[in-house]
Amino acid sequence: MDNSHIASIKARFGIIGNSPGLLRAISIAEQVAPTDMTVLITGESGSGKESFSKIIHSLSKRKHGQFIAVNCGAIPEGTIDSELFGHEKGSFTGAIEARKGYFEVTDGGTIFLDEIAEMPLGTQARLLRVLENGEFLRVGSSKVQRTNTRVVAATNLNLQEAIEKGKFREDLFYRLSTVPIYVPPLRERGDDIELLFRKFTTDFSETHRIKPISLTNEAKILLQNQRFPGNIRQLKNLAEQISVLEIGDRIIDDKKLQDYLDFNEPKINSHVIKGDFFQSKEGMNEREILYKILFDLKKDVTDLKKLILKVVESGNSDIYDVLHDNMSLFEDIKPIQEEGSRGMALPSYIEDDNQFKFDTKPQKEELEEAQFEEISTISTDVTLSLEKQEKEIIIRALKKNKNKRKYAAQDLGISERTLYRKIKQYDLEDLA
C-alpha cells in the first residue's frame, strides 16, 4: 500500500501518527476489510482498537449494513446472552416481550466485540456456533436463527494466558484470530506522541478560542520518554489539563511539564503503607498490595490476641512487664502518662483529632452486641475491668457530644439502640 493511500485512511478516520507499528496495523486492516474473515485486534487499553474495527467495517462490502460496538466487560453475565442473541417473551423475569439481539440486528453488517476476554464461558460456546455456521438460539427458544454478521473482536489481555487458566476457550481463540491486528501502545510510537499532543491542544484551543500551548524541545523529549499506561486517553487528558491551567506565554518547558506529569501519577497513601514496602515490592499490582495489607493486619490482630491472653494468665502484677515486652504492637500509639504508673502507661483511647477515630459502623446489631459481650467470657476479673473501661468510654463519648446519644453512638461505632441498653446497664440515665 502506498503512502498516499494510508494517508487518506488516516485522514478519513482521524488517525494521527507515522510509526511503523501503526502503519502496519492500518495496512492489515485495509487489506482484510473486503473479506468476511474474522479479525482479532489486540493492544493495551486506550490504544485506539475501536478505530480499527470502524476501518474494517467502512472499507468492506458491509459498509451500508449495521455496525454495533459491544463492550463484553460492561454487560452483566446474566444478561449478555439476551443482549447478543435476543430472547423470547417470558423466557425470564422481566422479559415482557420478545427482543432481537445484536446478532440479528447486525445481520449483513459488523459487530465489534470489545474486551472479548471478559465474555463468560457459556456465551463463548454460543459465539463459537455463530462463527462456525452462523446459527444461534434466542434465550428461551428452541428455534434456530441464522445471521450473516461479520465479527471483529478486541482484547487488552493475553488470551493465551486466559486459555491456560481456563477462562477462555482455545477453539474460540483460533476461530477469532484468523487475522490478528496488533495496535502498538503509545510508548512504542516515538514521535507520534508529540504529534498527538499537538493535535489535542490545537483542537482544545480552537474549541475554546484560546491561544494554543507549545512545548520546548526539552519538554518534547520528556513527553516522548513517558510510559503512558493509559495510552491515548491519558495523553489527551494531560494535553487538555495543561491547556486549561497554564497561563502566561503558554510555552511549556520540561520543568513545567514534569510538574503536570508528577501530579497525574497515581499516588499511594503514605500513612497507610510505608514507602520502603513499595521499594522492595516493585511490580506488585493493586490487588497484591491489598492482600499484603490484609495479611499484615491479620497477623497484628493475632499477636494482640496472644498478648491479651498473656496478660490474663500472668495476673495484674506482671501486666507492665508483659506489655513492655510487646510494645512494638503499640509503636504508632501515643502513650498517656498516668499518675502512679511505673513510668510506662497503657495505650488507651485518646480523644484527639490526630489519634484514634473510630469510623466503623457495624451493619448488624447482633455484631455490636457480640463485640461488647464476647470478651466477658474470659474471666471474672477481666470482665469487671473491661466493663469499667467500657463505662468510662461511654461516659466520655456522651460528654464529648454534649449528651446527644445519636452522635455518641456514631463515635462509638454502635447503634443508638445498643447505646441505650448500655446506658441503662451502667445506670447512666441521669448523665444521658
Q: Domain coordinates of the chain in residue numbers?
A: 3-184, 187-264, 272-348, 349-432
User: For 310-329, what is the mean pLDDT?
Assistant: 60
Q: What was the pLDDT predicted at 256?
A: 92
* Whole-Å CA distances, 40 to 82, 125, 289, 379: 23, 17, 33, 67
Say yes or no to pLDDT of 314 above 50.
yes
Say yes or no to pLDDT of 396 above 60.
yes
pLDDT band at 279 (very low <50, low <70, confident <90, very high): very low
Cell numbers given for 357: 477515630
111 φ/ψ angles, rounded to the nearest 5 degrees: -115, 130
Q: What was the pLDDT predicted at 424?
A: 83
Angle of helix 192-208 relative to helix 217-224, nearest 10 degrees, comes to 110
Give DSSP secondary structure letters for 274-336. -HHHHHHSTT--HHHHHHHHHHHHHHHHHHHHHHHHHHHHH-GGGHHHHHHHTGGGGTTS---
For cell 487538555, what's the residue? 240
How does DSSP classify residue 29? H
Say yes or no to pLDDT of 377 above 90.
no
Report the distance separating Cα 150 and Cα 38, nearest Å: 7
The pLDDT tens digits for 143-198 are 999 999 999 999 999 999 999 999 999 999 999 999 999 999 999 999 999 999 99
Cβ contact 345:338 at 8 Å: yes
The pLDDT tens digits for 214-234 are 999 999 999 999 999 999 999
Cell numbers given for 8: 487518506
pLDDT band at 329 (very low <50, low <70, confident <90, very high): low
Cell numbers given for 415: 447503634
The one-letter amino acid code at 243 reads S
Q: What was the pLDDT predicted at 308?
A: 73
Q: What was the pLDDT predicted at 294?
A: 66
User: To which H or E segment does residue 391 belong?
Assistant: helix 380-400
Say yes or no to pLDDT of 305 above 80.
no
Strand segments, DSSP code E, in 195-247 are 214-215
**b/e per residue 363-392 (b: at least 16 CB within 10 A):** eeeeebbeebeeeeeeeeeeeeeebeebbe
Least confident interval from 70-84, 157-171, 183-197, 312-326: 312-326
The one-letter amino acid code at 391 reads K
Cell numbers given for 127: 459465539
pLDDT band at 351 (very low <50, low <70, confident <90, very high): very low
User: What's the chain's average pLDDT?
Assistant: 81
List, as own/partner pairs, every contact residues 324-332 make where C-beta atoms lie below 8 angstroms and the sequence separation is at least 24, other chains included: 329/300, 329/303, 329/304
> Does residue 406 sit in helix, strand or coil?
helix
The one-letter amino acid code at 51 reads S
Report the distance separating Cα 86 and Cα 77, nearest Å: 14
The one-letter amino acid code at 75 reads I
User: Which has the closest alpha carbon to 277: 264, 259, 291, 263?
Assistant: 291
Report the distance separating Cα 49 and Cα 13, nearest Å: 12
The three-point CA angle 141-142-146 to 5° equals: 90
The one-letter amino acid code at 278 reads F
Kindly give, in sequence order, each residue whose CB lies less than 8 Å from that of residue 170, ignoring residues fewer than 6 positions away: 163
Q: Return the CATH architecture of domain 349-432.
A: Orthogonal Bundle (1.10)
Q: What was the pLDDT predicted at 32?
A: 97
Say yes or no to pLDDT of 283 above 50.
no
Say yes or no to pLDDT of 363 above 50.
no
Strand partners, 41: 154, 181
Say yes or no to pLDDT of 362 above 70.
no
Q: What was the pLDDT predicted at 328?
A: 60
Report the distance separating Cα 14 and Cα 413, nearest Å: 55
Q: What was the pLDDT predicted at 288?
A: 56
Q: What was the pLDDT predicted at 128?
A: 97
Say yes or no to pLDDT of 92 above 90.
no
Strand partners, 40: 153, 180
Q: Return the CATH architecture of domain 3-184.
A: 3-Layer(aba) Sandwich (3.40)
Q: What was the pLDDT predicted at 422?
A: 84
Say yes or no to pLDDT of 75 above 90.
yes
User: Which has the closest alpha carbon to 99: 142, 141, 144, 67?
Assistant: 141
* Whole-Å CA distances, 321 to 96, 128, 325, 326, 343: 72, 70, 6, 9, 12
69 φ/ψ angles, rounded to the nearest 5 degrees: -100, 125
Cβ contact 153:146 at 8 Å: no
Cell numbers given for 363: 451493619
Q: What CATH number has the domain spanning 187-264?
A: 1.10.8.60
pLDDT band at 332 (very low <50, low <70, confident <90, very high): low
The tally of CA atoms less than 13 A away on the side-chain side of residue 62 is 26
User: To which H or E segment does residue 69 belong?
Assistant: strand 67-71
pLDDT band at 318 (very low <50, low <70, confident <90, very high): low
Q: What was the pLDDT predicted at 238?
A: 95
Cβ contact 135:129 at 8 Å: yes
Is the fold of 3-184 the same as that of 187-264? Answer: no
The one-letter amino acid code at 145 reads Q
The three-point CA angle 238-239-240 to 5° equals: 95
Q: What was the pLDDT predicted at 311?
A: 65
User: For 379-399, what is the mean pLDDT?
Assistant: 71
